[in-house]
Structure 1
Amino acid sequence: MRLQHILAATDFSRPAEQALDRAALLAAEHGAALELVFVGDQGRGQPTGPAERLAQRARQLARRHRLPHVQALPLPAAGAGRARAVLDAAGQADLVVLDGDARAADRGLRPFRQLMALLQLLRAARCPVLLVRRPAERPYAHVLVDARHDAGGALLRCAGGLQPRAALELFHAAQPRGLRCRAAFERALRHPPAVPHAALRELYVSDAFDARRNRVDLALRGADAVRQLAVQQHSVAADLVALAHRPRHPLLEGLRPGAVPRLLTGEAAVACDVLVLPSAGRVGRPAPVPARGPAQSAVARRWTQAT
């Protein structure tokens, strides 16, 4: 994935400002143009209007990160929702950056509305969406990629292209219906990941049996792919989780939240940023690289040596 145009949304809250910082870091690394769009309430009566504050923030980011192309977009139409404002501004964007702070900081409906707006955006987005949950202090070092729903390798290419110097870990969750350790390893070794970028330093595979907490959960609670992914993220301290989004009916989302809401809130929440590839997302072709064999996780190596 080659980033030439990044769109970042803000409502000037602290989590949204972290998202702008991350977008600026990525724009500096990729040499991409950065556009800022305001998605907050335009009628709060602030001393400085949102258009002026957005322009000021654009100038600050340009100076701090030495970015030649930072633009504050005009305010969206009055009454436009968060998802509609981002979609209208996205245009030819290669990446949309949002704050991923959907935790229930209050008891009202705001967190729920934010999640619904995010799911609406993911259903219609044509490019990957990065949800920023932590301060943007440094480039990503360890990216955990969910192998589910990524048979064509688009998500792996997307994650590798976003931060080419990061270590990539392709994680295979144990599926329901009694998938055992041997079957999981055989599946991972039978379908090795392709190297998505020439500058990658590390690429290896792992599965739910790497983390002790996942092994205990599989024995006591059964297979829950989203929880397994969250446990693995905590276990390896990955600073970015990448997954493919499969849209669901809003009623189903209300009855049982899908992967993205669960990774942002509740028991399966991850303590890092989340990269989501929508089903309609586009990802550029990977750069050609010399052929090489797939790396294995430490547990997979021990199992294959023993057998």
Structure 2
Amino acid sequence: MLQRILVATDFSSAAHNAVARAARLAAEAGATLEVVHVARPRRRSLLAWLRREPEVAAGTEVARERLEDVVASARRHGADVRGHVVTGTPVTALAATARRLKANLVVVGARGVLRFRDQMLGTTAERLIEQELAGDVLVVRKPARAPYRTLLACVDLGPAAAQALRSALRLAPQATARVLHAYEPPFASLLRNAGLRVQAREHRAFARSRALEALEEFLRDAEVDADRLKVALRIGEPRQTIERAAPQLDPDLTAVGHHTSPLAQPFLGSVARHVLRLSVGDVLVSRHA
């Protein structure tokens, strides 16, 4: 169960959406909401910093005053809210604060257009899911005007995907939930290119039945209410399949697992980063080391 939610704010419109969604979730779950603003340290020499100490103190005080306004707006949703101003680089400071507060969920806002630096180094959300966190990461793109109504869980049958599915169902208890699983029949192209059309068709049918069996076993092991779920099987590479299916399904919330193993990350972990860059509503990412 959700006990503590951490939401980051830089006082932007994207952060405003994240705070509103986090406050709504905290109120629904009866969880404590921790609103965190990260103030970047000034890159100055010690002597220069000492000379400008009043300016530094004033900047921190302004941040605290703005944070009080954000906390007040979050309380209007009925949540138990506390505010924090911490110093450091955003990703490192947020991860450290989340660990210190033992947050079950970290919520951040997504900017509409990626900057060149984000495209090269990754967005805050993309770098945050690589951190050692006890909970999941929710990336908010849209205003939180209502509870989540449609949920898309992209599963690769791994433990991170199972955690993402369970977490998403808790965050969206009223949503219509669809599970998307992409699979690739081995040797199908070889049979087709060899002109063995009948064998290729039989092979695809067999692969689909095996994929369905594996998905049903995955859902049983995940201990979720399978009757609530609509299953969608798609042939293809996961990233491309999600990119095609997501606009058609138009989910409010998309859930995906993120693998952090050095071996799995280049292949499976990149799916989560890819989903974070798609326009698919809010995105929930669950890690599994």
TM over 0.5: yes
SS at match of 2:153: strand
Q: How does 1:1-307 map to 2 (within 5 A)?
A: 2-39=1-38, 41=40, 49-62=62-75, 64-67=76-79, 69-73=80-84, 75-77=85-87, 80-90=88-98, 91-101=101-111, 103-104=113-114, 106=115, 108-110=116-118, 112-115=120-123, 118-151=126-159, 153-175=162-184, 177-178=186-187, 180=204, 182-192=206-216, 193-194=219-220, 196=223, 202-208=228-234, 223-247=236-260, 258-265=270-277, 269-280=278-289
For 1:172 and 1:257, the matched residues in 2 are separated by: 15
For 1:27 and 1:227, the matched residues in 2 are separated by: 34
For 2:183 and 2:95, the matched residues in 1 are separated by: 35
Deviation at 1:116, TM superposition (A): 6.3
**2:4 and 2:102 in contact (8 A); partners too:** yes
Cα shift readout 1:60-115 (whole Å, capped 9, x = no counterpart): 210x2122x10001x222xx2111111121131111001133732x4x42554452
Cα shift readout 1:258-287 (whole Å, capped 9, x = no counterpart): 22332233xxx133111000114xxxxxxx
- Return the structure number with greater strand share: 2
Cα shift readout 1:11-44 (whole Å, capped 9, x = no counterpart): 1111111111110111111111101001354779
Query: What is the aligned-residue identity percentage?
Result: 27
Structure-2 change in CA distance of 1:37 and 1:186 (3 Å): same
**Structure 1 residue ranges without an equivalent (≥5):** 210-222, 281-307
Structure-2 change in CA distance of 1:17 and 1:272 (3 Å): same
- Return the structure number with greater helix share: 2
Deviation at 1:125, TM superposition (A): 1.7
For 2:30 and 2:171, the matched residues in 1 are separated by: 12
Deviation at 1:174, TM superposition (A): 2.2
Deviation at 1:163, TM superposition (A): 1.6
Report the AA paired with residue 157 of structure 1. R
**1:166 and 1:201 in contact (8 A); partners too:** no
**1:142 and 1:240 in contact (8 A); partners too:** yes
Tell me the matched-pair count.
Answer: 253
For 1:30 and 1:109, the matched residues in 2 are separated by: 36
Structure-2 change in CA distance of 1:110 and 1:203 (3 Å): closer
**1:165 and 1:201 in contact (8 A); partners too:** no
Structure-2 change in CA distance of 1:47 and 1:146 (3 Å): closer
Report the AA paired with residue 12 of structure 2. S
SS at match of 2:180: strand
SS at match of 2:130: helix
SS at match of 2:131: helix
Structure-2 change in CA distance of 1:197 and 1:259 (3 Å): closer
Q: Which moved more, 1:236-245 or 1:153-162?
A: 153-162
For 2:253 and 2:213, the matched residues in 1 are separated by: 24
Report the AA paired with residue 113 of structure 2. R
Structure-2 change in CA distance of 1:72 and 1:103 (3 Å): same
**Structure 2 residue ranges without an equivalent (≥5):** 43-55, 189-203
For 2:5 and 2:128, the matched residues in 1 are separated by: 20
**2:108 and 2:125 in contact (8 A); partners too:** no
Report the AA paired with residue 208 of structure 2. A
Task: Output the aligned Cα RMSD.
Answer: 3.2
**1:103 and 1:111 in contact (8 A); partners too:** no
Report the AA paired with residue 230 of structure 2. Y
Report the AA paired with residue 71 of structure 1. R
For 2:60 and 2:96, the matched residues in 1 are separated by: 27
